[in-house]
Structures are given as structure tokens and as C-alpha cells.
Amino acid sequence: MNRRKIIVIGAVLGVAAAGASPALAQTQTTFQNYRCADGSQFIVGFFQYDKRAHLQIDGKAVTLGKRVALSGSRYSGGGVTLTIGKAGTRLKHAKRPVTACGII
């Protein structure tokens, strides 16, 4: 490959990368803080192109996969189950009973 072709390819890639940056900056991220009836607290994050829920609970990061639910959304993984529905948000973790949670 000659030098001219390398320069042209580099310029095209540079323009493409610069054009992609605004699109990456527009991704939607949602974070919510919750407090539960049993006293536990957690933060959950949802990212636009990721079907999982990302929790910070008991000082640990836990990624929950999306599961089948009859209504609302249900996520589970790492011994934690998070259910978000019309009736509210419920959390089950660390061998504790299911508890109701609300946004702080």
C-alpha cells in the first residue's frame, strides 16, 4: 500500500470516529436509589443497549439478567431478585424474605 492510500484510509477512519462520538454520548442511562421496608438500600442502573439491571447493594456490584415475567419486569442473578411492576418494586436477597422498596 502506498503512502497516499494510508493517509486517505486514516482520514476516513478519523472522520467516522468523530461522527460516532455524539451518538455514543446520547445513550440513555437511568439510575434510581431505593430504600426497602426491611431497611436495605440499593442503587439500580439501566443502560439503553443492555437488558440487564446493574445493582449496587451491600457494598457489592451485582449484575442481574432479565427474566420472564407475566407483568412488569423481573431481573435476577447472584442471589438477588428484583421485580418492578405496577404494584411496586420488590427485592429478595441474601436469604431474606421478599421486601417492598420505594424510590428515595
CATH of residue 95: 2.40.128
Could you give the C-alpha distances from 61 to 6, 43, 51, 54, 56, in angstroms and in order?
A: 44, 10, 16, 7, 5
* Residue 86 within a domain: yes
The total of structural domains in the chain comes to 1
* Residue 59 within a domain: yes
* Residue 64 within a domain: yes
Closest C-alpha among 101, 98, 69, 75 to residue 88: 101
Closest C-alpha among 40, 41, 44 to residue 31: 44
The confidence score (pLDDT) of residue 16 equals 41
The confidence score (pLDDT) of residue 73 equals 96
* Residue 9 within a domain: no
pLDDT along the chain (104 residues), means of 10: 47 42 64 96 96 95 96 96 96 95 96
* Residue 47 within a domain: yes
* Residue 60 within a domain: yes
Q: Which domain holds residue 90?
A: 29-103
The confidence score (pLDDT) of residue 28 equals 86
Q: What is the largest CA-CA distance in the chain?
A: 69
